[in-house]
Amino acid sequence: MDEKILRAAADWWTRLRDPDGAGATMEQWLEWTGEDERHLEAFERVTELGNRLGTLDEATRRQFARDFARPADVPRRWLPLAAAASAVLALAGGYLAWSGLGVDTAPQTYVSAVAQNRNITLPDGSTVALGGASTLAMRFSHGERRVELAGGEAFFQVVHNPQRPFVVAAGNVSIRDVGTAFDVRRTGQRVTIAVTQGRVQIADHDAAPGSHAAGKGSLEAVAGQLVSYDPSTSAMSIGSITPEQATAWRSDRLEFIDEPLGVVIANVNRYSTRPVRIADAGLETLTYTGTIKTGAIDSWLGALPQVFPLRVSEDAHQVTLAKPEHK
């Protein structure tokens, strides 16, 4: 890989981890990664290298730097990565000490547009795939890495660090990583969590003490499990789900299993060019199971009267679902 790109990636790696850095840094980094597919690849390699260096003591890091400072001792095919390693050590030596102390980072907010997914790399190397029309806020403190999903959907692949737990807050529910990859979807106060790897600890902060047996309080979910939180009952139910179903939205498919039509439509609206509105509240509680292709939402809406007792009307600005007219 080109040495210049690797050095630039090392510079971005350090700037993104500067607790005093401006919020615009992330947007600038996204522009840089979008210029050339090699940029993101280089950044990922440098991130992995930086994470490994962060686990070394100071004496070992110094020896590492001395070894890479002697190009004659490094095989030619490793020269670009050796240059990046030296750049990381030179640029990020202060950061590695800082991260070991777990100093607070500046808050960051990430927003995606309707029908536009977005990939994000967090300061600790964890990655987030953010679904369409979603909002995520991040704040890493001394003892905790916390993000809040204000709305929409996100898939997390977490770099595990038991000294600084990774917690996702979504309404009344919090999800704590235990070496994990998992998906979180928030629709109003309704939350679903699909675990694709490892396990998570899920807590309902509004549950009364001693209410665990009623599906309230807290529970642990493992890979292959789907946890749904219903705000009307403050209860959590557990089902099963495949990794392909959990992340289908990343392949332009929305998957729903026994969910209220009101929730389905709210998520369809995150990918629809025209807002869909339910005119009669009674329709919102109808239960839907199925797959919706984000590129064929109009076709799905057109077929909906074959599944539910409703009618679909539309104009240039919106689509309306209503109860059938009685003749």
Q: Token pair for residue 206?
A: 């509004």
Asked if 202 contacts 218 with a C-beta cutoff of 8 angstroms, the reply is: yes
Distance CA 286, CA 264 (A): 10
pLDDT at residue 99, as a whole number: 46
The pLDDT score that the predictor gives to residue 80 is 47
Closest C-alpha to 176, from 127, 220, 212: 220
The two beta strands, 181-187 and 173-177, are: unpaired
Residue 94, both tokens: 């202060």
The tokens for 90 are 């030179």
Q: Tokens 């106060």 identify what position?
A: 189
Report residues of the chain scoring pLDDT below 70: 1, 14, 16-27, 30, 48-105, 207-216, 326-327
Tokens matching residue 37 = 């597919």
Q: How far is CA 227 from CA 192, 208, 218, 246, 259, in A?
A: 6, 19, 11, 11, 12
The C-alpha atoms of residue 309 and residue 317 are separated, in whole angstroms, by 23
C-alpha dihedral over 218, 222, 226, 227, to 10 degrees? Answer: 0
pLDDT value at position 96? 43
Q: Which residues pair with 322 in a beta bridge?
A: 311
Letter string b/e over residues 217-237, b meaning 16 or more CB atoms within 10 A of that residue's CB: bbbebebebbbbbebeebbbe
CB 222 within 8 A of CB 182: no
Give the relative orientation of helices 3-15 and 37-54 as an angle to the nearest 10 degrees: 60
- Cα(312)–Cα(302) distance, integer angstroms: 7
Give this prediction's pTM: 0.69
Query: How confident is the model at residue 215, as a pLDDT?
Result: 55
Render pLDDT for 134-178 as a digit per residue (tens, 0 to 9): 999 999 887 899 999 999 999 999 988 888 899 999 999 999 998
Cα–Cα distance measured from residue 9 to residue 87, given in angstroms and rounded to the nearest whole number = 9
Phi, psi of 241 (to 5 degrees): -155, 145
Can you give the pLDDT at residue 211? Answer: 47
How many Cα atoms sit within 13 Å of 249 on the Cβ side?
A: 27
Query: Quick check: 61 and 71 in contact, CB under 8 A?
Result: no
Q: Is 254 in contact with 294 (CB distance < 8 Å)?
A: yes
pLDDT single digits (tens) 68-117: 444 444 444 444 445 555 554 444 444 444 344 345 667 889 999 999 99
Domains of the chain: 3-101 (no CATH), 108-242 (2.60.120.1440), 252-322 (3.55.50.30)
What are the angstrom distances between the C-alpha of 42 and each of 129, 133, 141? 19, 28, 27
- From first CA to last CA, the distance across the chain in angstroms is 71
Please check whether residue 142 is in contact with residue 157, taking contact to mean a CB–CB distance below 8 angstroms.
Answer: no
Give residue 58's pLDDT.
53
pLDDT of the residue at 55 = 52
